[in-house]
Amino acid sequence: MKKHNFYAGPSILPDYTIENTIEALKDFAGMGLSLLEISHRSKQFVAVVDEAVALFKELLQIPEGYSVIFLGGGASLQFCMIPYNLLGKKAAYLNTGEWATKAIKEAKMFGEVNVVGSSEDKNFNYIPRGYEIPKDADYFHITTNNTIYGTEILEDINSPVPLVADMSSDIFSRPIDISKYAIIYGGAQKNLAPAGVTFVIIKNDILGKVERSIPTMLKYSTHISKESMFNTPPVLPIFAALQTLKWLKNMGGVAEMEKINIRKAALLYDEIERNSLFKPTIPAKEDRSRMNVCFVMNEGFEQFEKEFNDFATEHGMIGLKGHRSVGGFRASLYNAMPYESVEALVAVMQKFENLKK
């Protein structure tokens, strides 16, 4: 039985991505060699990188003046690369969860960090609003989707200083106005590719403003000037990312994806609200993530948590256990998750409710 994959990351990918990657592992681009054993500088692989960059630009409508690069090190390395390259004196950060907290910790090694808003007081179950961004900050850093807690910033906010966004878990889930951002980055293993590659979309004129010297590998300009080929890039995940981008284009792009994502999230949140056994962990509807839907057992039904997890697993629902810092359940509904899988989960929740009535 094909399982319904609700893992938060690494996570579900389109069949198209898996199938084409398997094919390339056997014979890449008709070369008679595996993707795993070819030079990253072969013209066939350079074409993969070029096409992936072109599709990033096309699908997200990235304006002139921006570069797209693929790096190793995960989103976590960006937590230090961003302040290394951008933080002269002071930076502003919004603390909306564990990943934001980690980004803040790294930035503090490079200068003054002003945390303009935080939802830590309520275990990160809301998006702070009404904060003020200091006009003299070098940049303002946000995490648009909080994968662990299930909150999401769904609008492109206006920032008086360059806006930097960790979009690891919601990139390509909706159209974004790139011109409002200076940097958008993320690990690819949530909504794009297998683990191992990090994408960075970067406005070129943001660079070169700090005085410190930066190690070559940690300098954005190194990778921009070498078009992600300064050193050996993560060949396999870049190839897989290209397949997902092609699939996305075939599906109608990010505008179409957003429509489906809205329907999927609404179906599940509605059931969580309706079903007497469950309740959502994020009170405000406008703060709820479309990508990671978090819920717990309702009052009086806490004792059934493990039983529901086992019941769901028996019904082919995989990866629903919530992160240890929230508990309960987390259903990740990334782009590749079909609407039918969410329907199947809702049916299992209803079946469980009927058992307990």
In terms of phi and psi (left: phi > 0; alpha: psi -120 to 50; beta: otherwise), the region of 74 is left
Q: Are 171 and 224 in contact (CB under 8 A)?
A: no
Only one of the segments 15-23, 68-76, 117-125, 199-207 lies at the binding site for ligand PLP (rule: CB under 6 A); that segment is 68-76
Give the side-chain half-sphere CA count within 13 A for 104. 18
CB atoms within 10 A of CB 72: 14
Q: Is 166 in the site for ligand PLP (CB under 6 A)?
A: yes
Q: Are the beta carbons of 317 and 348 closer than 8 angstroms?
A: yes
Question: One symbol per residue from 172 to 211: x for binding ligand PLP (CB under 6 A), - otherwise; what is it?
Answer: ---------------x--x---------------------
Tokens standing for residue 127 = 């998006």
**Binding to ligand PLP by residue 74, rule CB under 6 A?**
yes
Binding mask 84-103 for ligand PLP (x = CB under 6 A): ---------------x----
Residue closer to ligand PLP by CB (options 67, 78) is: 78
Asked whether position 10 contacts ligand PLP by CB under 6 A, the answer is no
Q: Which is nearer to ligand PLP, 67 or 96 (CB)?
A: 96
According to DSSP, the residues that pair with 329 across neighbouring strands are 295, 321
Question: Which among 49-57, 150-158, 163-171, 330-338 is the span making contact with ligand PLP, rule CB under 6 A?
Answer: 163-171
Instruction: Tell me what percent of the chain is helix, strand and coil, each rounded to the nearest 5.
Output: 40, 15, 40
Q: Which residues contact 250 (CB under 8 A, 6 or more apart)?
A: 16
Task: Please tell me which residue in 138, 170, 190, 287 is annotated as part of the active site.
Answer: 190
Under rule CB under 6 A, residue 104 binds ligand PLP: no
* Residues labelled catalytic: 99, 166, 190
Site residues for ligand PLP per CB under 6 A: 9, 74-76, 99, 143, 147, 166, 168-169, 187, 190
